[in-house]
Amino acid sequence: MRAPEPRRVVGATVVIAALLLAGCGSGEEPPPPTTGTPGSTAAVTVPADGVTLRSLGYLNGPVEQFTLPRTAVVSATVDQTNNVTAVLTSPPPTDVAAYLRRALPATGFTITADDPEALALTFAGHGWTGSFTGSGTTSAILLRPA
């Protein structure tokens, strides 16, 4: 068996190094997860029947301030710096809406619109705006930076 030519070894090394460096992206670090309002240290008391977004595994959004019912079954999530979404299959949307009507003001959010017939709420607080909607057996919460 012949040993590889030194030029081929050097060439292959250069190609591998170039590919590895290209795979590293632009060199910019991704933005850190966004949690609440920058500099906000307001302590929030989580309702006894609630859980924080952080305890559900979220990294972005008002993860310590926004809560869902403890019995929430999350079937789909989006966890990005500019969009946090939770789709719930349980409890029923009417129960989630009732929980949010009670929990949002207690955790520092202001309800800005409430349509009980349409099962729709909008709210704001901790540097975020949000909406809730429910239909049938499913409900969804969407949070975006204010």
Query: Which range of residues forms the domain containing residue 117?
Result: 50-145
Is there a contact between 99 and 119 (Cβ–Cβ < 8 Å)? no
Residue 45 lies in a domain: no
CB atoms within 10 A of CB 14: 10
pLDDT digits (tens, 9 = 90+) for 53-75: 999 999 999 999 999 999 999 99
In the chain, the number of structural domains is 1
Is there a contact between 130 and 112 (Cβ–Cβ < 8 Å)? no
Residue 9 lies in a domain: no
Residue 25 lies in a domain: no
Q: Which amino acid is at 96?
A: V
Is there a contact between 121 and 132 (Cβ–Cβ < 8 Å)? yes
Residue 43 lies in a domain: no
Residue 92 lies in a domain: yes
8 against 15, higher pLDDT: 8
Residue 1 lies in a domain: no
Helix (H, G, I), strand (E, B) or coil at 67: strand
Q: Which amino acid is at 83?
A: N
Residue 82: give its domain's CATH number.
3.30.530
Residue 44 lies in a domain: no
Residue with tokens 């949000």: 130
Residue with tokens 């409900």: 139
* Of residues 62, 61, 85, 83, the one with CA closest to residue 138: 85
Whole-prediction pTM: 0.73
d(CA 51, CA 58): 12
Is residue 4 scored above 80 in pLDDT?
Answer: no
Q: Return the structure tokens found at 76.
A: 């789909």
Residue 121 lies in a domain: yes
pLDDT digits (tens, 9 = 90+) for 17-64: 333 333 444 444 444 444 454 434 457 899 999 999 999 999 999 999
